[in-house]
Structure 1
Amino acid sequence: MGSVRNPFNKLKRCMPSGAHNVVARRRYPSGTLRYALRSQFASGSEQNPSLIEPCRIPSAPLLALKNLFAGMSFLAFVVFAPGILFAQEDLPFNISCDYLKYSKSSEIVFSSGNVFIERDTMKLYADEAEFRRNESLVFLKSRVRIEDAATTMNCDSAEYHLAVGTAPASGVFQNARVFRDNMYFVGHDAEQLGDTYIFNKAYLTTCDDDEPHYKMASPRIVFVEKKSVTMKHAVFSVRGVPVFYTPYYRQRLGERRWTLAVRAGRSSRSGTFVKTRLRYNWSDNFRTYLLNDYFSRLGYGKGLELDYKSPSTQSNLYVYGINEKDAGASNRTFRQSHWQQLPAGFLWQSYVEVQDYSLFNNNYLRDESLVLKPTYIRSRASVSKSVSAYYLRLSGYRNEAWKDSLNRFDADNVIAPEIYFRLNPVKLKLFSYDLSYNYRNYFNTDPNMGTIFSDYTPIHSSLARIFNSYRLMRSITLFPRIGYQFYKSGNLDSVEYYFHDINTTLNFYRPLKLSFTHNYKKEPGKTPVTDNISFADEYRPARNVVFRQSVVYDLKKRSQPLENRFSLLQNQLNFRAGAMNFYARNYYNIALGEVLSWEAEGSGRHFSSRFTHNRAEPDFLNWFQRFNFKYGKWVVEAGARTFFNYRKTDIKLEDVIEKELVLKRNLHCWDMMFKYLVTRDRREAWIFFNITAFPDRPLGIYRDAIGDEWSFRKQ
């Protein structure tokens, strides 16, 4: 340290010649460390530093010794109770242990007893450790464990070179077991150089048992983190029994550049079929899918999907086609969607779809409906901007359907263009306000889409409101909303409305809350369109009990009998008893004096029972029952829906109109899932398996009794 005097020089003159070692001891109640200096003679017997007992040093020498150690610019001691932490500015780690010895002459730190070394995200555990400062080398012995952010290693002993500068970490390990990327690597010995591990006389498995249920063994395994595993003369065995041998094996890790999904089977409509979906990742943002299908009755189907995603842009193109042999139909599907952030905070979105009588869509490996879709061309596009003060959108939409009479596509629903603007709520001193405006140039000849507009018609609509919440008293809250609405369609006269809904909430008695809302809407000079008062109450007689009611009184029906002025009265009761939850709800017709429908449910941790009844189906109940529980390694979920006559004493099997059973079994390193489902239009069964370490790669068998399909699926 330049001109800084070495405090050891003065101490050396007072001690016999020989190696001078520092042994750190435990923290005393006063909060200071007590150090013992032991002179070791070359001719004398040398004790293991871990067995050295604390020296009895007078307080004055101890103070001098404390000052001496404070001058050691290259060494510092920090205590972690109950052990000791050794730290130094030039050392690349902190160390905690029961006993610690530092040799100045050789610059070696020796520690033993619950040794813990920490460096950034790396942690090392051992019974004994020796650090050679000049070589950045750590020797670990007995019950060694090395951890970092993504890798865990257990071994008997280790010789570990810490990463210094551009030199990567490296090491040699005996009887090593490494866990990384959901895989276990176990070898007689192992070497590490940066991200590469070499295991000798080793095996690979995803089973965490000491004696794994299955493994891939090889004389030499090379593992490159996040990239690959390579083996020569590999033998795959199950419960110690060899199953197959391969002279060379290599597997890419992480997200592979390509994956293949396969579905093969037979159905009454398609015949024997094989459907494949090959995905290839060109980069982190761009991937392609190649679809290649064979159907013995339909023919060959081929498709392509391009998908691009980045923080500012998302785009997808999907094309599929098949010439059906049995029907002679040529089915084509085309879809393109695009989403992109533009300068100045604008956002572009577009979508184009061309669909004929195809049964194929982008939910490719799912079960498709047999309902034929109409032939159409559909497109939409928009530019929008959303900020805290407002939202603005300019958009257009067009739908064209094939007309045999015209022998071409013909537009039946068009919006070109549409402008929408919304001013988000602005708060003033006494109230807040907001407003919105919408313009559409609209054309529609499809009655399923709403009002018919045989010619392009401009439609204007706007809305403005003022509102605020006022606490009149501690138990009274007033929340009025007053607004103006404008609507004009084509050459028709404009329509203007004044409207308000004023809510008053009363809470004089804490368990009881009452709410009244007057809803009013009126065109100037005409009778009100809406004029009613809604009533709602909430009563909490106990902590876990809530009773709610709501009804609407129509002031426009003043001339009618009182009971005819009310809407359906809704009553609901919720209560909780321990781990059980219950609720009951009904809809009561005040005019008829009877309940039109009701439902009730009780549920707990492992079950739920729900009953429903509708006056339109007298004497009949719907009973929905579900169970879920664990039995050993089995997870069971079961459900059923029964529609039965409650006036009869027995429930027949045909009354059970829906059934579902799901069984999941943890086979330690494998997972199994079986599902059986029956509804009025479906009768299906699945059984799937996957390795626990890779849950997104299942394989299994599917059965559809309605479509008479058997198929094998692999993702």
Structure 2
Amino acid sequence: MKYRPVFLTVIVLAAACFAAESPQGRADDNLPLEIVKQSQGPSLPRDCFTVSGTLSRGFPSKESHGAGNLSDFSGPFEIKCDYLKYSKKTEVVFSSGNVFIERDKMKLYADEAEFHRNESLLFLKGNVRMEDSTTTITCDEAEYSVEADTAVKFAASREERKKGDIILKDNVRISNSGTEVECSYADYNMAGSSGVFKNVRVHQDKMYFVGQDAEKNGDTYIFKKAYVTTCDSEKPHYKMSSPRMVFVSKESLTMDHAVFSIRGIPLFYTPYYKQRLGERKWALSFRAGSSTRKGFFILTNLRYSWSKNFRTYLINDYFKKLGYGKGVELDYKTASVKSNLYVYGINEKDTGVRNLTLRQSHWQQLPAGFLWQSYIDFQDYSAFNSNYLRDQSLVLNPTYVRSRASLSKSASAYYLRLSGYRNETWSENLNRFDADNVIAPELYFRLNPVNFKLFSYDFIYDYKNYLNKDALAGVIFPDYTNIHNASARIFKSYRLMSALTLFPRIGYQFYKQDDLKPVEYYFHNINMTLNFYRPLKLSFTHNYKREPGKSSITDSVSFSDEYRPARNVIFRQSVLYDVKKNSQPLENRFSLLENQLNVKAAGMNFYVRNYYDISQGLAVSWEEEVSGRHFSSRFTHNRAEPDFANWFQSFNFKCGKWDAAVKARMFFNYREADMKMNNVIEKEIVLKRNLHCWDMMFKYLVTRDRREGWIFFNVTAFPERPIGIYHDAVSEEWSFRKK
């Protein structure tokens, strides 16, 4: 016969209140608790038994049969378990079976628990787990001191222990704020985050600290007979060993008589070693090599952190053929301020040309929810940047100065921005900078959608004082012109039927330019979606815009459909019909028809898409792709390149212990099936290997104007700090890089 478990709840530190002498005068050492079945409404199961009481240093009076009301202890101690008994002689409460205890925001779980009332000690055994807001502990056995005492920590006798001290035994694991501690024994205090450990292994910030003994006090660990490594193997491939090691979390590591070894072979010894952890005060990155354009070169970048928020970068570059390049960067960041200044320049000794770049940006949160942003960029010409002449350009833009500033506020109801922009280029005729694109100022206001029961509305107003002499930037305004542009809309989505949805958007637009007569527009965008047949969804949208009393500017209907004949098959189409072209032949009134088919099956994805010219009766372009876990094949064709297609092919696979990725692009005549190796215009090969503690990467890239190769190594724990060699065959450059 099976019995449902009986759950007991003891409120407070234990049930000493049941220790009073029974009416029958029983004198047994172990008195089973009297279980009183409660009837407290439908929320309490029929087989749920509850015992309530409050424990104190004394016993309740004989009149208190059952629940007592004593309060020498600081707070409640709640136990839930399958079985519980109390020993009158030893004053021990024993519980077993799914034990759950809660005290002072700490939760404890175990298979068995004993509470020794006289010593205020709680013993836990079997699958022990302890949790609070920041720490999780698991082990096989634990001894927890629950009452305050004035004795020192880590006392040898139980009488000297302090509140919060915990002795943990066997398979101990402590997790706290990104730090993992594993050991065979621990004397730990959760409140003070301190303790003593044996056979300990600490994992923090991708590093492993392993020692025979360790002591923790706050953020400081002191290890004896220990080593440090980033290798997670039980027998690390490399390590730095020391008889005494001091680790200060995220700050420093200090070792006496340190020995560095690889696979157990000592390679280096130093009587004293110290290393800063986290971000160092200073760091040096460099790149050295040789190329046809620059000759031998070495590029250096020295970073110094004045504080957590402020850094400086000193840039010093040497080019044998070009000369010296120098620069500085100042960077400041807080939660409310981000500011950066970058300056770099070089005087080419072979041409005598001065090249200079300057950038300054600032972002700051102001009171009342306002935000300030500014940006200045001065550039001698487009090919010049912080990686001097790395990006070659056939056409050099003239020297320019660009600046932008804005003050904005974003709220739940609206967005407001006051801004300005100015672009100036150097004029040889004027022998000065001349503005060719200026907005001074612009005022933009947007009222976010306001929702009512039957409709919603929004509003936008944009004013700018605009000058533009650059045709590539838009409409020419040779003189400063005041432009006002405002629009208001009402809209709402209405479900007319379960398969019919109507979404109208109706609006009014106002446009005024200087003293010219203002222009007003009525416009609407009305969408209707039908889904009467579940696999098929149809959508129609009417776009309309016109000035009052005049003919329409825009009048078109767009159509789209989505058909799902099977779960993993989707077919989509879309096209636009221009009503204003009603005088033209029917086929000329349509835009390009877009068709797309997506299929997923057997772990593979397939799609094909084309753009079809209805008036011409042929496809303007098409593309198709099939891809799986280890490959991808994609073909594209454009009518502008008749008879030719692009084939993009990629593979990724494992070759022994190597991860390989191969990519290629072939441009070929598909009518003649002319697929030769000389038609491969791009190729890329990437090989990676994880050496457990190290990663190695080899990359080879060929395009129409580039032929490059890389070989890089990095410690697996720090992939952002690679060391390697780079080669560019086009510029005949070899370089060594360290970041």
TM-score bracket, shorter-length normalisation: 0.7 to 0.9
2:181 equivalent to 1:153? yes
Asked whether the equivalents of residues 568 and 600 of structure 2 are also in contact (C-alpha less than 8 Å), the reply is yes
Asked whether the equivalents of residues 22 and 101 of structure 1 are also in contact (C-alpha less than 8 Å), the reply is no
Asked whether the equivalents of residues 707 and 730 of structure 2 are also in contact (C-alpha less than 8 Å), the reply is yes
Q: Deviations over 1:629-668 (max 9, x none)?
A: 3456533322211111123345211111111222222211
Separation in 2, partners of 1:401, 1:156:
71
**Map 1:82-121 → 2, pairs under 5 A:** 83=97, 85=99, 96-97=109-110, 112-116=125-129, 121=134
Partner residue of 1:53?
none
Corresponding residue SS for 2:308:
coil
**Map 1:230-379 → 2, pairs under 5 A:** 230-357=254-381, 359-361=383-385, 364=387, 367-370=390-393, 372-379=396-403
Q: Which of 400, 406, 412 is the equivalent residue of 1:382?
A: 406
Bigger shift: residues 653-662 or 240-249 = 240-249
Q: Tell me by how many angstroms 1:477 deviates.
A: 3.0
Q: 1:33 to 1:637 in 2, by over 3 A?
A: farther
Separation in 2, partners of 1:8, 1:471:
70
Partner residue of 1:169?
194
How many residue pairs end up in the alignment? Answer: 671
Q: 1:126 to 1:400 in 2, by over 3 A?
A: closer
Q: Tell me by how many angstroms 1:526 deviates.
A: 4.2
2:720 equivalent to 1:696? yes
Separation in 1, partners of 2:731, 2:331:
32
Q: Which of 111, 116, 135 is the equivalent residue of 2:161?
A: 135
AA paired with 1:348?
A: W
Q: Deviations over 1:584-626 (max 9, x none)?
A: 1122222222222211111222222111122222222211112
Q: 1:30 to 1:484 in 2, by over 3 A?
A: closer
2:81 equivalent to 1:79? yes
Separation in 2, partners of 1:531, 1:68:
83
What is the RMSD computed on CA atoms of the aligned residues? 3.6
Corresponding residue SS for 1:283:
coil
Bigger shift: residues 512-521 or 271-280 = 512-521
Partner residue of 2:463?
439
Separation in 2, partners of 1:572, 1:31:
62
Corresponding residue SS for 2:340:
strand
Q: Deviations over 1:298-323 (max 9, x none)?
A: 22222111122222222111111211
Separation in 1, partners of 2:121, 2:538:
79
Asked whether the equivalents of residues 99 and 111 of structure 2 are also in contact (C-alpha less than 8 Å), the reply is no
Q: 1:616 to 1:6 in 2, by over 3 A?
A: closer
Partner residue of 2:441?
417
**Map 1:631-646 → 2, pairs under 5 A:** 631=655, 633-646=657-670
Q: Tell me by how many angstroms 1:107 deviates.
A: 5.6
Corresponding residue SS for 1:560:
coil
Asked whether the equivalents of residues 85 and 94 of structure 1 are also in contact (C-alpha less than 8 Å), the reply is no
Bigger shift: residues 473-482 or 613-622 = 473-482
Partner residue of 2:235?
211
2:650 equivalent to 1:623? no
Q: Tell me by how many angstroms 1:328 deviates.
A: 1.0
Corresponding residue SS for 1:311:
coil
Asked whether the equivalents of residues 331 and 358 of structure 1 are also in contact (C-alpha less than 8 Å), the reply is no
Separation in 1, partners of 2:578, 2:382:
50
Bigger shift: residues 202-211 or 446-455 = 446-455
Separation in 2, partners of 1:261, 1:446:
41
Separation in 2, partners of 1:466, 1:94:
55
Q: Deviations over 1:247-305 (max 9, x none)?
A: 22111112223222222222222222221222222233222222122211222222111
**Map 1:527-676 → 2, pairs under 5 A:** 527-631=551-655, 633-649=657-673, 651-676=675-700
Q: Deviations over 1:37-82 (max 9, x none)?
A: xxxxxxxxxxxxxxxxxxxxxxxxxxx9995999897687543897
Bigger shift: residues 601-610 or 497-506 = 497-506
Q: Tell me by how many angstroms 1:341 deviates.
A: 2.2
Corresponding residue SS for 2:327:
strand
AA paired with 1:311?
A: A
Q: Tell me by how many angstroms 1:216 deviates.
A: 0.7
Q: Deviations over 1:654-703 (max 9, x none)?
A: 11111122222221122222222222222222222221222222222222
Q: 1:434 to 1:105 in 2, by over 3 A?
A: closer
Separation in 1, partners of 2:300, 2:294:
15
Q: Which of 508, 512, 517 is the equivalent residue of 2:541?
A: 517
AA paired with 1:331?
A: N
2:218 equivalent to 1:194? yes
Asked whether the equivalents of residues 222 and 231 of structure 1 are also in contact (C-alpha less than 8 Å), the reply is yes
Structure 2: stretches of 5+ with no match in the other structure? 1-11, 34-45, 52-62, 84-95, 145-157
Corresponding residue SS for 2:200:
strand
Partner residue of 2:729?
705
Separation in 2, partners of 1:547, 1:278:
56
Corresponding residue SS for 1:344:
helix
Asked whether the equivalents of residues 21 and 102 of structure 1 are also in contact (C-alpha less than 8 Å), the reply is no
Q: Tell me by how many angstroms 1:229 deviates.
A: 0.5
Separation in 1, partners of 2:48, 2:214:
43
Q: 1:72 to 1:518 in 2, by over 3 A?
A: closer
Q: 1:464 to 1:141 in 2, by over 3 A?
A: closer
Partner residue of 1:48?
none
Q: Deviations over 1:176-196 (max 9, x none)?
A: 322222211222332333322
Q: 1:106 to 1:585 in 2, by over 3 A?
A: closer
Separation in 2, partners of 1:88, 1:563:
77
Asked whether the equivalents of residues 263 and 365 of structure 1 are also in contact (C-alpha less than 8 Å), the reply is no
Separation in 1, partners of 2:264, 2:140:
33
Separation in 2, partners of 1:287, 1:502:
54
AA paired with 1:135?
A: R
Q: Tell me by how many angstroms 1:375 deviates.
A: 0.9
Separation in 2, partners of 1:150, 1:242:
32
Q: Tell me by how many angstroms 1:118 deviates.
A: 5.0
Q: 1:473 to 1:322 in 2, by over 3 A?
A: same
Asked whether the equivalents of residues 569 and 590 of structure 1 are also in contact (C-alpha less than 8 Å), the reply is yes
Q: 1:488 to 1:107 in 2, by over 3 A?
A: closer
Separation in 1, partners of 2:443, 2:117:
80
Q: Tell me by how many angstroms 1:365 deviates.
A: 9.7
AA paired with 1:162?
A: N
AA paired with 1:195?
A: D
Corresponding residue SS for 1:385:
strand
Partner residue of 2:41?
none
Q: Deviations over 1:215-249 (max 9, x none)?
A: 11122211112211111221211112222222221
Corresponding residue SS for 2:280:
coil
Asked whether the equivalents of residues 23 and 100 of structure 1 are also in contact (C-alpha less than 8 Å), the reply is no
**Map 1:9-88 → 2, pairs under 5 A:** 77-79=79-81, 83=97, 85=99
Asked whether the equivalents of residues 472 and 478 of structure 1 are also in contact (C-alpha less than 8 Å), the reply is yes
Partner residue of 1:47?
none
Separation in 1, partners of 2:284, 2:708:
25
Asked whether the equivalents of residues 383 and 389 of structure 2 are also in contact (C-alpha less than 8 Å), the reply is no
